[in-house]
Chains A and B, each alone.
Chain A
């Protein structure tokens, strides 16, 4: 079955504790990987625990840097 692709407009950097980002992360964590494919943004190191340590693999989809600055990368969590 084709999974529904969701782009979450939030940052999933490890250690970011903003309440909204934390909530988005918890919602992502609870989505059924059989049904959903989730992408979100990340500036530095992503919080891979979003996906769980064994169930998913984080793929860096669109890394970009310019002038020494990190731009948001898009991470996709797949089963």
Chain B
């Protein structure tokens, strides 16, 4: 879908919608236009933004400065802010001096539920789920795969490091890692259910 049309549709709903609260305002051009407009407009509707990662974004090289600026101009200018953890709340306070309330990240536990009676894996299965970016450290899965050749490793996700990881697997002949790519909900649930260990080596994020 053309992005400009999407932006226009969302912006129009921001302006003309009958809502009293605009919640979960995203870092987007539509949000930026709306927040600029309401500065000079007696719009009494409440805006609520959520912050779900640490706020020292400039320390993460894969996030463009333009994206950080847009985030600062949108989410951080909401009337109220939620953080998804105490670490994020503290980061928001220390980086920007902004207060927020903690609303933990939600999980559909009816959908993402363990299998009660699963046939044990013949080899230990280790799962990584997330975007393939430096701060998520997916390369540690390859390190672990080399160190533990009797275990199987699954990487679910995609991102800028995908080709680099694939190249390393080929160069080092790593055979006990499977790239699952981006998965639909049911497939992802299956991977979670079949895994023995979830490896989450991210050094930077929102849950801590």
Q: Which residues of A contact B (CB under 8 A)?
A: 4-10, 15, 17, 19-20, 22-27, 29-30, 39, 41, 43, 49, 62, 64, 66, 69-72, 74
Tell me what chain B mostly uses at the interface: helix, strand, loop, or mixed: loop
B108, chain A: closest CB distance, angstroms: 6
B23 interfacial contact with A, CB 8 Å: yes
What interface size band does chain B fall in?
Answer: 35 or more
In Å, the complex CA distance between A4 and B1 comes to 31
List the A side residues contacting B108 at CB < 8 Å.
22, 25-26, 29, 49
- Closest-by-CB residue of B relative to A14 is B185
B22 interfacial contact with A, CB 8 Å: yes
Q: What 11 new A-B contacts, CB under 8 Å, besides A8-B24, A23-B105, A69-B1? A: A6-B23, A7-B17, A8-B23, A9-B30, A19-B52, A23-B84, A41-B10, A49-B108, A64-B9, A71-B1, A71-B9
Tell me what chain A mostly uses at the interface: helix, strand, loop, or mixed: mixed
